[in-house]
Amino acid sequence: MLLMEQTWPDVRAYLERCRTIIIPLGSVEQHGLALPLGTDAFIAQAMAQEAGRRTQRLVAPILAPGMSLYVHMDFPGTISFMPDTYTAMIRDCVASLHRHGFRNFLLVNGHGGNEGCIQNAMAEMGYRLPGMKYTWAQWWRMPEINAREDEVGLGRVGHGGGSEAALIMHVRSGLVKSELFGRDMKEARFRTSQDLVRTHVTETGIIDAQQERATAEIGAELFELTVTRLTAMLADLESPA
Amino acid sequence: MLLMEQTWPDVRAYLERCRTIIIPLGSVEQHGLALPLGTDAFIAQAMAQEAGRRTQRLVAPILAPGMSLYVHMDFPGTISFMPDTYTAMIRDCVASLHRHGFRNFLLVNGHGGNEGCIQNAMAEMGYRLPGMKYTWAQWWRMPEINAREDEVGLGRVGHGGGSEAALIMHVRSGLVKSELFGRDMKEARFRTSQDLVRTHVTETGIIDAQQERATAEIGAELFELTVTRLTAMLADLESPA
Amino acid sequence: MLLMEQTWPDVRAYLERCRTIIIPLGSVEQHGLALPLGTDAFIAQAMAQEAGRRTQRLVAPILAPGMSLYVHMDFPGTISFMPDTYTAMIRDCVASLHRHGFRNFLLVNGHGGNEGCIQNAMAEMGYRLPGMKYTWAQWWRMPEINAREDEVGLGRVGHGGGSEAALIMHVRSGLVKSELFGRDMKEARFRTSQDLVRTHVTETGIIDAQQERATAEIGAELFELTVTRLTAMLADLESPA
Amino acid sequence: MLLMEQTWPDVRAYLERCRTIIIPLGSVEQHGLALPLGTDAFIAQAMAQEAGRRTQRLVAPILAPGMSLYVHMDFPGTISFMPDTYTAMIRDCVASLHRHGFRNFLLVNGHGGNEGCIQNAMAEMGYRLPGMKYTWAQWWRMPEINAREDEVGLGRVGHGGGSEAALIMHVRSGLVKSELFGRDMKEARFRTSQDLVRTHVTETGIIDAQQERATAEIGAELFELTVTRLTAMLADLESPA
Amino acid sequence: MLLMEQTWPDVRAYLERCRTIIIPLGSVEQHGLALPLGTDAFIAQAMAQEAGRRTQRLVAPILAPGMSLYVHMDFPGTISFMPDTYTAMIRDCVASLHRHGFRNFLLVNGHGGNEGCIQNAMAEMGYRLPGMKYTWAQWWRMPEINAREDEVGLGRVGHGGGSEAALIMHVRSGLVKSELFGRDMKEARFRTSQDLVRTHVTETGIIDAQQERATAEIGAELFELTVTRLTAMLADLESPA
Amino acid sequence: MLLMEQTWPDVRAYLERCRTIIIPLGSVEQHGLALPLGTDAFIAQAMAQEAGRRTQRLVAPILAPGMSLYVHMDFPGTISFMPDTYTAMIRDCVASLHRHGFRNFLLVNGHGGNEGCIQNAMAEMGYRLPGMKYTWAQWWRMPEINAREDEVGLGRVGHGGGSEAALIMHVRSGLVKSELFGRDMKEARFRTSQDLVRTHVTETGIIDAQQERATAEIGAELFELTVTRLTAMLADLESPA
């Protein structure tokens, strides 16, 4: 149910039965020696697409690259929009869809750096556009994901960590160089911050992360947990207020 | 140690021994029937000021109002900057201070709606300005605060909830109308979201909150926990990388 | 009558009887060896607050820092918003208040560098928002102030000059280092301009100014003259068109 | 050779031998009853990807949706960025890549509405960033394409016309509803303009177009002509100035 | 019929009979050794003015300088607005006129670098403002101009070429230093692009151009061809849709 | 000495002897029943041009329309840039000229509504660009003008008042409908403000003004006084700091 694969009369027909759309958001950002630059985008896209398939809900084109103005910019290949640009992108995309009659927005975000832009864009759209409802999901903040991470000893997400590795192994296995897992995994040293500080990162680009325990099987589990949650969120979003 | 109360030669002298500044951020936003519009700002200001006093670190002028483009705008008196404006304010403030030689920035945020702007502004400044380190603190996300909230049965923060009420009772007791605590505390109905949705709020403006158990004593405790944490963050921020 | 100290039902009640708000604007800017960085803000805040107290009119939170992209930026501690930022701040603040029903706006500006932003922001708001009236006051442009300055030989304002010194001595006497008055008071050399030119300023930061004759008593006089004028402006602003 | 499928060490290695990148640009815009909303994006992506494959040159993630603030917005499903947003997107993307060392940029545009944004963004980047060379290609403006269109009687492009239909039949045949070709093909009435005027369009969304003669075979021909041209442009772009 | 020479009651009277306005756009940009910086502006202004005179249609003030962020900026005297600025200028000008009741806009552009800004500004205005029609003309893209250029052997336009020289000789003959025609006319070397690349230009600033055959007589012919076309475009623009 | 009439080698030669430029700024704004919309622009242009002629200094193209978001927008024909747009225009123009080596900027402003934009743009440019000096002139604020106004009983400027009428009679006499002077000259009623308030204006558009005493002779006098002053300002601007 990708919007881009529909004709406009298809969308007109869809809007007669349903006013919901799923918007995936990703990044194009270094993920260490073993994972591709598109990791966040591939994962978010796959999750959104599977949730859309199961619920017969439309999926908008992914907004990627994302906002990556962190240490990641020092690694070749990372592309970042400025925060104002990415915020405007989300706003414009939502405003276009709202104009056609979409009212329920589920954003599926694959990249922590996008959070500020999402918050700002959606607050402004919720303020300006009448009658809309929205929510957003980030797999690494879901309690069921965190519980499973703890059980299998993956550790929490960091950057380019075990869970991400597992998910991308499930979603796009051919792109993972698992033989490079765990090389040079020095820890970042700066600790007080909720944020990244420029001079504190391992040489590989990985932060606070353990990749060695990642497997495609665990990735499939985390993926299923997330899609299940997304499905529930869609139902909630569409329930009468 | 308020920057605004210094002369410029005072600041020049300060910079010879220390390159750290504390920046409080607040809001001007409805907080229900009992708490003043400046609740977030008063709390953040007091925390920043006390941390500055103990560590002899300068405190910049508070950035308030903040970003409040939510249901709060439907309640008289709420003032919100647009997200782009508030983001630019943080950027400009940090850039001015960086120009004078400040390099370590501790942001003390009193309002959840500001998070996106802080993330976006600081990511951009960290990217553009050489040699800076920053971190930011939000009392309601500190584990020691959450632990104490659980112990005394305050519940987590919501909006205008028990912890906020306790803190403002400690900081500016004269402004609290505690006789109005808890009136008309209907729950918000929309549940999937990390975000607020416009049509779901109690008539008082309070969300998911219990104010009745708030006391100035508990406020003093939470305040002390936060300031202790801020002091540690400052030390960490100033330690060699 | 500070807005930030009210609850939202207080503001709702206020709006039933009155649609006027006073907005102070200041700066965080060097004022020479003897006066604090917050001089303009402290003065504007005190004037607005006293006018509000006498007339029982609400006072919005001060917009400070202000726009100080002049030589002042070469002195440690000066914080400036970019002109576009400060203009947007005024616009957003006025738009929020207009949304709640405020219609009469009295801006009390304490800093000459803010004038362009005030003019631009208010012109745009006057153009976009229906039914609003506004005016703005700057004490150093009031004829009665200028007359008194001439009588007591204070000279016109310059930057950090005698009148400002007198006013801050009245408003926040503890912050003034009067023993440093007048040191190194070389004149600025560039003369044709209504504007400041970067390379022309004394080493102290003071421009065209005489501080030595400033006293708290003269400050009290100038303060009273200004507040009286503000009170009259409020009455005029609220009179039927 | 998709950038998103590489790791950052892959890109570092690539940059040692080559400083060229291909950037596809598309749209999400109604294309009549028979063609999908993603038509422009699918075509540009396929062309860029095939040119990259033949020359072993990297392809950046596609920038889609594009700028479609025309009559197309009246048809459900069209998503448009504002012109300022899309211009900033191109700028940010190019600036990120330039930072890593990319110097030769080939933009492959699939959507006429993007032209203004491309021109503006690339002019500014060419002005600000040292040492860069760029060029951009639009298949419908290539003389060899126009010659072939004339030979096979497809007519020039219009919107959603025969050439686009042929190309998308070649690239993503499963998405074309060729049984709906040509229905209700009334002509647009307004004629002086190089531009679209809002009230002048057929009911299907198709403008000045003949779809009936489109076949996948002609699409394959046009595709091959374009990719051959792109390959030559890449060689030219990399030749010493 | 220059708008600037009318009083507001003149314009009110005009709007009762006609809702059309002509807007010329130019540049202030180097045009080689022989032609003045204002070449594009003088030509567009004269064309617009003559079309206005013949049809009794109002002509708005010219928008010049234009967008010239190309190699031209390396030649003293070129003034360029940033693309975002020039786009906003066109938007604001059209919005002001639309507010007064103008509905038919003919833009007469004298400078290729402005095209992106015109496209972006007019697309956005067409999207936002109800009931407007617009079209834009560029003499060097008119088939009748190109045909005449071929007949007299002037070659196509390049930058500062024969046609421009001829037109400015017709319009402002006193400003042309025809004795410098053709000096140092080395060709630009970079050929794949529709665009200019910074390091590829002759030392005179002229690109791909032959000035030697320019005469005021040919200029008069091209001018007449253009004005005739503009007159037809005005009639078309005002015809019922 | 109009910049637009020079070739780039002319400007290169000029810069070898002088780094000064004069920039006129105007408006396109209603000036009552008798004066043309371009009044401010024609006056500023003529003053700048005459000062340039006498001193052999270059004059940049006028920036007009200006910022007129006041009651004037309710009168047909007024064109206003938004404040942010006009500020950016001044910035871009100055930055282009600074790039070529201009360092001394004299702005000759003909329209009070532009003041905020000038202040903001020049403060930012003075802050960002090294080595520049600037000043700006407004004839209606010059003491010698005010003295002469008092002597001949013209009254101070208002909007479209006697001095403006006299000046435009001197500069472009053919455009003045002096037979309409003074019709319907009701006073504006709102009095506290330094600013205009939307609902307070006469029906003619004239504010606080007396046109009847205006003559071309007085206009010539005021014109001469202004140009003399401009000449002195240029000398001062070019004197060593």
pLDDT in tens, C109-163: 999 999 999 999 999 998 999 888 899 999 999 999 999 998 988 866 567 788 9
Report the C-alpha gap between D108 and C204 in whole angstroms. 58
Give the residue among B118, C178, B1, C169 at the shortest CA–CA distance from A116.
B118
The distance of C164 to chain B (nearest Cα, Å) reads 14
Touching pair B, A by Cβ (3+ pairs < 8 Å): yes
Q: Which chains touch F (3 or more CB pairs under 8 A)?
A: C, E
Q: Which chains touch C (3 or more CB pairs under 8 A)?
A: B, F
Give the residue among C90, C78, C80, C79 at the shortest CA–CA distance from C117.
C90
Interchain contact, A190 vs B126, CB within 8 Å: no
Domains defined for chain F, CATH in brackets: 3-238 (3.40.50.10310)
Give the residue among A61, A57, A112, A108 at the shortest CA–CA distance from A89.
A61
Interchain contact, B79 vs C99, CB within 8 Å: no
Other C-beta atoms lying within 10 Å of the C-beta of residue D183: 14
Mean pLDDT calculated for residue range E72-89:
96
C8-26 confidence digits (pLDDT tens): 999 999 999 999 999 999 9
C174-215 confidence digits (pLDDT tens): 999 999 887 665 555 444 344 444 444 567 777 666 788 899
H/E/C letters for each residue in A18-73?
CCEEEEEECCECCECCCECCCHHHHHHHHHHHHHHHHHCCEECCCECCECCCCHHH
Give the residue among A82, A28, E100, E57 at the shortest CA–CA distance from F77.
E100
Dihedral, CA atoms, F169, F170, F175, F178, nearest 10 degrees? Answer: 20
D201-226 confidence digits (pLDDT tens): 567 777 666 788 899 999 999 999 99
Count of alpha carbons within 13 Å of E170, Cβ hemisphere only?
Answer: 23
Give the residue among C220, E77, D53 at the shortest CA–CA distance from F60.
E77
Residue C190, pLDDT score: 45
pLDDT, greater one: C147 or D182:
C147
B66-79 confidence digits (pLDDT tens): 999 987 898 999 99
Chain F within 8 Å of C135 (Cβ-Cβ)? Answer: yes
Interchain contact, A197 vs B113, CB within 8 Å: no
Pairing of strands B104-109, B20-25: parallel
Interchain contact, B34 vs C7, CB within 8 Å: yes
Report the C-alpha gap between E115 and C221 in whole angstroms. 61
DSSP, collapsed to helix, strand or coil, labels residue E118 as helix
Touching pair A, F by Cβ (3+ pairs < 8 Å): no
For chain B, the straight-line distance linking the first and the last C-alpha, in angstroms and rounded, comes to: 26
Cβ neighbours of residue A156 closer than 8 Å, sequence gap 6 or more: A140, A146, A149, A163, A208
Chain D within 8 Å of A150 (Cβ-Cβ)? Answer: no
D126: closest chain E residue by CA: E198
Residues of B in Cβ contact (< 8 Å) with C84: 88
Residue E22, pLDDT score: 98
Mean pLDDT calculated for residue range B22-50:
97
Q: Is B67 exposed, middle or buried (0-12, 13-18, 19+ CB in 10 A)?
A: buried
Residues of E in Cβ contact (< 8 Å) with F172: 5
Mean pLDDT calculated for residue range D169-180:
94
Interchain contact, F28 vs E101, CB within 8 Å: no
Interchain contact, C4 vs B88, CB within 8 Å: no
Backbone angles phi, psi at E118, to 5 degrees: -65, -50
Q: E-assigned strands of chain B?
A: 20-25, 58-59, 104-109, 133-138
User: Residue A205 above 80 pLDDT?
Assistant: no
pLDDT, greater one: A200 or E45:
E45
Residue C197, pLDDT score: 47
Mean pLDDT of each 10-residue bin along chain F, 241 residues long: 96 97 97 95 98 98 95 92 98 98 96 95 92 91 92 75 92 93 60 43 69 91 97 89 58
Interchain contact, B236 vs A191, CB within 8 Å: yes
Q: Of E116, E124, E241, which is closest to D69 when you measure between CB atoms?
A: E124
The distance of C175 to chain B (nearest Cα, Å) reads 6
Name the token pair of D90.
């191109």
Percent of chain E whose pLDDT exceeds 90: 71
B91: closest chain C residue by CA: C81
A13: closest chain D residue by CA: D76
Report the C-alpha gap between E144 and A175 in whole angstroms. 56
Mean pLDDT calculated for residue range B46-63:
98
Pairing of strands A20-25, A104-109: parallel
User: Residue D5 above 60 pLDDT?
Assistant: yes
Amino acid in position D96? S
A82: closest chain B residue by CA: B124
User: Residue E31 above 60 pLDDT?
Assistant: yes
* Region of residue D131 (phi > 0: left; psi between -120 and 50: alpha; otherwise: beta): left
Residue E176, pLDDT score: 95
Cβ neighbours of residue F181 closer than 8 Å, sequence gap 6 or more: F34, F165, F211, F212, F214
Calculate the CA E160 to chain-centre distance: 13
E157-216 confidence digits (pLDDT tens): 567 788 999 999 999 989 999 998 876 555 554 433 444 444 445 677 776 667 888 999
Residue C188, pLDDT score: 53
DSSP, collapsed to helix, strand or coil, labels residue D76 as coil
Residue A162, pLDDT score: 87
DSSP, collapsed to helix, strand or coil, labels residue E207 as strand
Report the C-alpha gap between D212 and B122 in whole angstroms. 55
A97-130 confidence digits (pLDDT tens): 999 999 999 999 999 999 999 999 999 998 999 8
Mean pLDDT calculated for residue range A149-159:
77
D6: closest chain A residue by CA: A36
Percent of chain B whose pLDDT exceeds 90: 71
Place of tokens 């403030």: B93
Whether the Cβ atoms of residue E75 and residue E33 lie closer than 8 Å to each other:
no
A-proximal residues of D, 52-111, CB under 8 Å: 60-61, 64-65, 73, 75-82, 84-85, 88-89, 92-93, 96-97, 99-101
Report the C-alpha gap between E218 and A128 in whole angstroms. 56
Chain A within 8 Å of D12 (Cβ-Cβ)? Answer: yes
DSSP, collapsed to helix, strand or coil, labels residue E15 as helix
Give the residue among F62, B232, A5 at the shortest CA–CA distance from D41.
A5
B111-160 confidence digits (pLDDT tens): 999 999 999 999 999 899 988 889 999 999 999 999 999 898 886 656 77
Residue D72, pLDDT score: 86
Interchain contact, C79 vs B89, CB within 8 Å: no
Touching pair F, B by Cβ (3+ pairs < 8 Å): no
D193: closest chain E residue by CA: E135
F236: closest chain C residue by CA: C192
Identify the top-confidence range among A15-29, D124-138, E158-172, E182-196: A15-29
